[in-house]
Amino acid sequence: MAPHHVLKCCQRSLAWIPVIFINLVVGWSYYAYVVELCIFTIPNNAEKISYLVVFHLFFIMFIWSYWKTICSRPASPSKEFCLAKVEKEQYEKEQPDAQQDILKKAAVGLPVYTRTGTGAVRYCDHCQVIKPDRCHHCSTCDMCVLKMDHHCPWVNNCVGFSNYKFFVLFLAYSMLYCVFIAATVLQYFIKFWTNQLPDTHAKFHVLFLFFVAAMFFISILSLFSYHLWLVGKNRTTIEAFRAPVFRNGPDKNGFSLGFSRNVVEVFGDQKKYWMFPIYTSHGDGHSFVTRLLTLDPEQIAVGLQINGKSSVDGLASPKHILGNNINHIEGHQDDVAQTVTVTMESES
């Protein structure tokens, strides 16, 4: 057992190497820009002060969002998604087919609408929980993560429901940080390169700073653009590669509510907080509003019995079906109800 624990400890220590590398690069860039460029190279005080003010604004927002992404612990499923002790003991004794029957009964009262590719209830044998929609097990973090997007080595953390907004802002501010450095350093880069400025110790820092900032900007731009596209489509990276499977089949747009509401789900209702790494995302990570055409007919029937209703029309659906986010779309009920109708079909 001891070697296993030692190996785990070494893996966790080595996982911080990319984070340390990023912080060393950022620390050097701060010194190179503030000291070598602004203090020792730029002669004009007005230009120097304006550069320093804008630089520190981007620097603070970048560091803030970066460490919020690192320090936000991934959210995991709550206890209600765990099997009861009796069900767990029975589950461990049964064959796969009988195990699915147990999981189906346990999932009836839960807001779970996605399935495996074979139509089975998604269950994590390692964590011993019924997986909520959009939840996946991360082998690196050794846990199930709500609305998991991916595991990012550069932050040594899983990007998911608890920190996805922070991750997008981290990409945005790191891109702005790099492009600002590259744009303001360019003229002095040219002057050093063409020997218009004396060959001092600042030359190396200024030349290298431009190349590093431009290189990081190009690489981050593509990643940031991709995640903006994901936000607009209300998809995770995992869902972009493999569409979520409902009982009616795969639906890559199963969680999409329209561009504006997709953005609000990640960034929140109040636009004044969108640009700050403060948690404002909607929901609890366990249940998500889905397009009604992909809902499980059996779950709809259960929801109707619970709420004592006999029909579903447009968005007049029980809260059990739409989860905790139903109030996000009640204001749009009339508009959507004109175009969306749910047809109840029994399984053959």
Report, as residue numbers or ranges, the catalytic residues.
Answer: 152
Label each residue of the chain as H, E or C: CHHHHHHHHHHHHHCCHHHHHHHHHHHHHHHHHHHHHHHCCCCCHHHHHHHHHHHHHHHHHHHHHHHHHHHCCCCCCCHHHECCHHHHHHHHHCCHHHHHHHHHHHHCCCCCCEECCCCCECEECCCCEECCCCCEEECCCCEEECCCCEEECCCCEEECCCCHHHHHHHHHHHHHHHHHHHHHHHHHHHHHHCCCCCCCCHHHHHHHHHHHHHHHHHHHHHHHHHHHHHHHHCCCHHHHHCCCEECCEECCCCCCCCHHHHHHHHHCCCHHHCCCCCCCCCCCCCCCCCCHHHCCHHHHHHHHHHHCCCCCCCCCCCHHHHHHHHHHCHHHHHHHHCCCCCCCCCCC
- Size (the chain), residues: 348
The answer to whether the beta carbons of residues 138 and 74 sit under 8 Å apart is yes
Cβ-contact 161, 75 below 8 angstroms: yes
Question: In this structure, what token pair is assigned to residue 73?
Answer: 């612990």
Residue whose C-alpha is closest to residue 275's, from 187, 170, 180, 178: 170
> Among positive and negative, which fits the CA dihedral 201, 206, 212, 215?
negative
Q: Which residues pair with 124 in a beta bridge?
A: 129
- Phi then psi dihedrals of residue 124, to 5 deg: -100, 110
Residues 6+ apart with CB under 8 A from 46: none
